[in-house]
Amino acid sequence: MWGLSLFVPTMFIAMLFYAVCYLLKEPQRARWHRHVSRVWMNFYLFCIGCPLKVKGTEHFKKGKNYIIVCNHSSFMDVPVTTPFMPHANKTIAKKEFAAVPFFGWIYSLGAILVDRKNEQSRKQSYAKMKAVLKMGLDMVIYPEGTRNTTNEPLRPFHDGAFRLSAETGVPIIPALIFNTKKIMPPHTPFFMLPHIIEMHFLPPQLPNGLPVPVLKEKVFETMKEYYVANNVW
């Protein structure tokens, strides 16, 4: 109840600042959106007892952009990805998020929305991701496609992020989020447990002309090995 009662009023305050996005063009809009999100989420996470620790930001080089592939095991992953990436970015998200009152509006400002059941929508979203990279922003993708509600470290990856890297030459940075499943377990409704969140960035993986399946498997094994070695079950 505390988490929900705090989230709603702070969201409405943040919306006043998000409105500035309508006066800006990309990539300035993405930079402002990330700045507002970071201030809001720093305050919110502190107040609910879920402070965030970030490691590996040194892998992001100034003047370069990246495709960040991140594991996804809880709804708590959403407020820590876009705001706390070292560079301004866009994320790819299901269009259903846009239907969430008020929050959907905020989320859609910083995301590329896709209807996964519509082939035309998928093609358009892929073209938009290329445009995001072309303008110098990072692209954040959950390669598992949906939350991992299993007991496995990761769900199998989809091809999209790796095909995007292979076709554009933009390096992939693997990112691992720890402990969000402990805070909001997938099978326990209306539950939140305070816990430290950690987000670790691993060294960039260059496409180097690798076939998409090979690149995907390489990144998957890198992330799985790191997650198993660093997660406290």
| Cβ atoms of residues 230 and 176 within 8 Å | yes
The predicted pLDDT at position 232 comes to 67
The predicted pLDDT at position 186 comes to 84
Q: How far apart are CA 70 and CA 60, in angstroms?
A: 15
For 2, other C-beta atoms within 10 Å of its C-beta total 11
The predicted pLDDT at position 95 comes to 86
pTM exceeds 0.85? yes
The predicted pLDDT at position 63 comes to 94
| Cβ atoms of residues 88 and 27 within 8 Å | yes
Q: And the tokens for 63?
A: 């003047």
Written as tens digits, the pLDDT of the chain (233 aa) is 999 999 999 999 999 999 999 999 999 999 999 999 999 999 999 999 999 999 999 999 999 999 999 999 998 998 899 999 999 999 998 888 788 888 989 989 999 999 888 889 989 999 999 999 999 999 999 999 999 999 899 999 999 999 999 999 999 999 999 999 999 998 888 899 999 999 999 999 999 999 999 999 999 999 999 999 998 65
| Residue 174 buriedness (CB in 10 A; 0-12 / 13-18 / 19+) | buried
Backbone dihedral angles phi then psi of residue 68, each to the nearest 5 degrees: -100, 120
Torsion angle in degrees (nearest 10) through CA of 130, 134, 139, 145: 0
